Structure 1
């Protein structure tokens, strides 16, 4: 493996893992710990469930999770438990959608040829990652360079990156193209007739002037017996709207948290420890060895960091330290740190170089050295560096490009130290044979830009952790509470007696990895989904606390219970009852003045009610009233009482007219409507297929 291949693996150009998962993630449109019940770890179950009878394999699922995590890490996102749970749901949905779409692709005979894949990679509209990596100095996509890189990668049959490219990236590209074809077919089936567009345009231009009486719901007291909302009322309401009030199976708990976070004494002990090491650190001749010997939480970096990139607490103070001086201890996040200045120098922000590599992995050391010496002799004798690189270099990533590379200073840590030291610390025009773990390089520094002061700093860092005594105190308190509280009643009594704060976690689902407010808590989630109502847990150690929980609620999949739905719908149901009270007040009044007198309200005017808008000026969003305003029957008589969002309305339409506001004409309206329908075609189709699919989710039994 060449030095440049090492760079690829750690950081840069063709992270095909990332690209593959980016494409797979796109198909959605809108790592899990443990191996319970799987293979040699617990049983024979290797399936996480099925979609339309097709099983979802544990190993393949975990592979996708890891790839997705790699993608996000490469993009700089922290992989915390919330992120991991989101990734798990995304990957699960990917498997579902791939299954349902694969069947549709087969029915329609859709396929992607090898030539199509080449057109995608090397055509006028390549993937964004390809375009970004293989854009030349003129800002144009270099398809030839991209093809050379891909051809070189494919030749490395046993290389993990080559496998990821052929087994993950290319299939993802093919799936993406199939999705495009499928969506295009669906989109082209949508059609808006001209008469419909003309009707929509005509209706949207209408404006009405109305007189009305509004009787607000807040004029009726909530304490009236006739507006009391019962569970039966809630059930009747949600039963008519089952799709809106469907729920997943979930559970709820109450819990007590016993803190095991570092105390002030623990924090002081870490600081004192570093203070005692400060002078020894200052006098240490080998900083790297000292940090290793003293178990520094921050490893030694044998390199310089540009002033603009030295982004640590107290950076200004650290930069001003003389060589050999130390500063600290100071706080950096959850650590105490002592910094030691090791050196300063000017360093370029970017370097352009070229090299020829003769590998010591495919040649003996003596043969490699002899070959590089011969190549150097030929170049000094007038041979072209680029032609020698193309003929002899064993770095496939650069041999066809004259051996050239551009590196930024932030990539120094990803390069072999000897290689990085020469191109960044050497001078423009300098040439040298450099040996690394990969072989012998003949390197020339072509250009260096953006010189800036840089610093080499060693950091002795210790995390602020809870002492054993702190851990024992928290654990002991949690175990005592759990031992005394073996049911819901004693749990509540003991919490009150000990003046402990009882917290609540609701709607915990079987596949959750974490519980909001608690962090990574998969073990607790498993207990929650196996416990009975009123059962109290043993203490769970979650991050810096011990948790004792009691199961308080089990919500089955299906329609919400009245108790759960009440908070969501009680207001609407009460307003419905108030509307009936108001209608009785209105009685048989058949003029606006009579309605106003019966309800002690005023007759109001609205002279700019638009058919195309759900809002009434100075009233609010009242779509039912808008619709009634354009009812011809109400131009000659007052309307029946209308139960709106904020009041009961009775109205009479004074006039209806058409006003052009410079909006879309019928043809433009038709094009816009068709475009909107076609844009949503893919999502609507996949959503319908997902709902119709027979999905069996057994992740909670395995993960």
Structure 2
């Protein structure tokens, strides 16, 4: 493939944006060396970062570019990713300005064409050896320059700005890393802590000895716990929660039976059709007809073995494949390889619908090339001199393809490679949306030859009938109209035998809800109404949903209702700890034997417990108890009762020692710790800048 075609496939918009730009102007244009701000605007403000506007038109342009580069990705995922990247970039650009960090035209030129060019430069303009081919870049830009149109903004947004920002971030992180320092004593302390072990005896009463139902946790208990641990219960943006009921609108058994009958009726007509492609186009099918062969080993559909055993013209089915009833007709069979290696020379007559060379000239040229090679001319020399496929010049015109790539190739090219034989040399003419021209092809190698089948599928989806949909819609509408407040919602759900479900932590810019599915309209309704509001039915494809807003949690410390799920286990354990201490250890026993007798437990021993990994055998992770065991003042003494993660403990320190480790080098450890500090320091600094930024998010007004 040509470099131009690679760019077009990756970012279709770049074909427009690079027009009328010379290579020098592209590299040195002052507008590019200014970061992500400025450029074309729509006048609508999508948000602000420390008072600086995010233009909606510019933002949408970036979303469109990402959608072109990430086929199949959900729009909400792309919007959220672009928003996050935009905010990060603007926060950092503002910081770069404060520090005086910048990237000059000369630096950009050196970066693009120096020893370590960005990946996209080598991808589009590489020489096959990891270097940027400047001549190839000039040739590609010159070809694009001939086309009509013009707007450099997409190039700026998709390639130049990320390149500049990455380089500026590298400079910024380098500044931060130089401030990192770990003294030798800290490394020595770290090594000592890693090697320290303790031995102790203990008596424990697990929290599990008290039933959860015996401990009541009130809202006031939760509130006090949250107030004491605010940082653990802080949310960075507001959220809402709903309760909802669903009304099934998926296909009924009657709907499925009706589709099955339709497919059974079509079986004889499908079997009699001599032109399956025309027939399937006329009657429609969920599985488009591929007029080619598929290796039997790659046929993974249900009943594959039965289908492969069909005689030509015979039909199998109906059978169920996912949500379709299917008929399979054997059109033909042959053998073909699962992979091929070919080499070729391409002479183009057109590109992107624009003629580049007269057909007669191209035809004569490819014939001359074929004759020269057949007379002993060096194939690679012909590739380098004549081939218009820039992507294969570095590999002597060679390509390797798997059978699964057949449908992605020009049909004429693929048939020579896969349906011919090793050693075949043929000239074919191709015409497709990307280019047109002549290929001279030599089949160099074919591997994994096996049986392949041409199968046509008549597939009909099992869809819900209008009767099924109307029944569900009517039931949902009646429920909604009769349930205009929380009390009525809950009572009517109970009468109808409907189990209300919950969706929590719904953010205003979400496009989907956990358990409900994707429905931006429902999210907008949630944020346009108040607690207790009940919605009209929302159509979610195979069901109707009626929702009720149950809570609103503003930015900041969580409400008691929202925090309860996280806080309640800890509060309950605190209460259990108090109960255990008051009933089992109230006298504060002076010996472990007395503690064991009071608690009705046995004395246990923990040996070689590591300071670095506070895990107690048979108990689990107990950092508070392990830390107590390393208290030198507790050696030979009994502690007061201590509430741990899993229960209440009374311990007696027996010894503290260290495992000798001569292999550890203090200087190496210090350097390693310093490197980790440099890496984490830069990350945390960027994270802190974002948290400290004043960010106004207006996406809800537009999406």
Matches within 5 A, 1:47-126: 47-73=45-71, 79=73, 84-106=75-97, 107=99, 109-111=101-103, 112-119=107-114
Question: How many pairs does the alignment contain?
Answer: 659
Moved more, 464-473 or 314-323: 314-323
Deviation string, structure 1 residues 449-482 (Cα, Å, up to 9, x no partner): 1233322222222211111111111111111222
Matches within 5 A, 1:228-627: 228-247=216-235, 248-348=237-337, 349-360=339-350, 367-377=358-368, 380=371, 390-398=384-392, 403-427=397-421, 428-437=423-432, 438-450=435-447, 451-584=449-582, 585-587=585-587, 589-627=589-627
SS in 2 for 1:612: coil
SS in 1 for 2:327: strand
Q: Work out the CA distance in 2 between the residues paired with 1:4 and 1:340.
A: 41
Q: Work out the CA distance in 1 between the residues paired with 2:394 and 2:635.
A: 82
Deviation string, structure 1 residues 123-144 (Cα, Å, up to 9, x no partner): xxx7499689979xxxxx6235
Q: Work out whether residues 207 and 609 of structure 1, in 8 Å CA contact, stay in contact via their aligned partners in 2.
A: yes
Note closer, same or farther for the CA distance 1:371–1:133 as it changes in structure 2 (3 Å cut): closer
Q: Work out whether residues 120 and 127 of structure 1, in 8 Å CA contact, stay in contact via their aligned partners in 2.
A: no
Note closer, same or farther for the CA distance 1:321–1:578 as it changes in structure 2 (3 Å cut): closer
Q: Work out the CA distance in 1 between the residues paired with 2:360 and 2:488.
A: 79
How large is the Cα RMSD of the aligned pairs? 3.8
Note closer, same or farther for the CA distance 1:581–1:663 as it changes in structure 2 (3 Å cut): farther
Q: In the alignment, does 2:191 pair up with 1:191? A: no
Q: Work out the CA distance in 1 between the residues paired with 2:382 and 2:204.
A: 88
Q: Work out whether residues 588 and 640 of structure 2, in 8 Å CA contact, stay in contact via their aligned partners in 1.
A: no
Q: Which runs of 5+ in 2 are unaligned?
A: 16-41
Deviation string, structure 1 residues 628-685 (Cα, Å, up to 9, x no partner): 2232332365434333223333334333333325673433432332233233233222
Q: Work out the CA distance in 2 between the residues paired with 1:482 and 1:363.
A: 58
Note closer, same or farther for the CA distance 1:153–1:665 as it changes in structure 2 (3 Å cut): same
Note closer, same or farther for the CA distance 1:213–1:434 as it changes in structure 2 (3 Å cut): closer
Q: Work out the CA distance in 2 between the residues paired with 1:213 and 1:243.
A: 33
Q: Work out whether residues 62 and 158 of structure 2, in 8 Å CA contact, stay in contact via their aligned partners in 1.
A: no
Q: Hey, what does 1:672 align to over in structure 2? A: 672
Deviation string, structure 1 residues 521-573 (Cα, Å, up to 9, x no partner): 11111111112222211111102111112222222222122233233223322
Query: How far off its partner does 1:433 sit?
Result: 4.8
Q: Hey, what does 2:27 align to over in structure 1? A: none
Q: Work out whether residues 242 and 559 of structure 1, in 8 Å CA contact, stay in contact via their aligned partners in 2.
A: yes
Query: How far off its partner does 1:404 sit?
Result: 4.7
Note closer, same or farther for the CA distance 1:376–1:167 as it changes in structure 2 (3 Å cut): farther
SS in 2 for 1:204: helix
Q: Work out the CA distance in 1 between the residues paired with 2:439 and 2:143.
A: 24
Moved more, 321-330 or 418-427: 418-427
SS in 1 for 2:345: strand
Moved more, 355-364 or 263-272: 355-364
Query: How far off its partner does 1:421 sit?
Result: 3.1
Note closer, same or farther for the CA distance 1:120–1:279 as it changes in structure 2 (3 Å cut): farther
Q: Work out whether residues 348 and 357 of structure 2, in 8 Å CA contact, stay in contact via their aligned partners in 1.
A: no
Q: Work out the CA distance in 2 between the residues paired with 1:474 and 1:71.
A: 39
Q: Work out the CA distance in 2 between the residues paired with 1:608 and 1:241.
A: 33
Q: Work out the CA distance in 2 between the residues paired with 1:171 and 1:365.
A: 33
SS in 2 for 1:680: helix
SS in 2 for 1:586: coil
Q: Work out the CA distance in 2 between the residues paired with 1:455 and 1:261.
A: 35
> TM-score normalised to the size of structure 1?
0.83
Q: Work out whether residues 5 and 397 of structure 1, in 8 Å CA contact, stay in contact via their aligned partners in 2.
A: no
Q: Work out the CA distance in 2 between the residues paired with 1:616 and 1:336.
A: 58
Query: How far off its partner does 1:517 sit?
Result: 2.1
Note closer, same or farther for the CA distance 1:675–1:493 as it changes in structure 2 (3 Å cut): same
> TM-score normalised to the size of structure 2?
0.83
